[in-house]
Amino acid sequence: MESLVKSAALDLVEEDREFRATVRAGTAQANRGELLEHEDVKSRILGRFRC
C-alpha cells in the first residue's frame, strides 16, 4: 500500500512539473508576441472535440 501511495504522489509531482513547464513556455511565447487569433484558438478547441 505504501508503494502505491508513493507512486501516486510522484505521478502528481511529475504532472505538476510538466504543467508548470508548459505554462512557462506559453508565457515566453506570449512575451515574444507569438499569439493566436481568437478564431484559431476556437478552431483548435473544436477540432479536438470532433469525432
Element (H, E) at 49: helix 38-49
**What pLDDT score was predicted for residue 29?**
97
Q: Which three cell numbers stand for residue 34?
A: 507569438
The pTM of the full predicted model, rounded to 2 decimals, is: 0.68
**What pLDDT score was predicted for residue 12?**
97
Angle at 41 between CA 51 and CA 16, to 5 degrees: 85
Q: What stretches in the chain show pLDDT beneath 70?
A: 51
Report the distance separating Cα 24 and Cα 17, nearest Å: 11
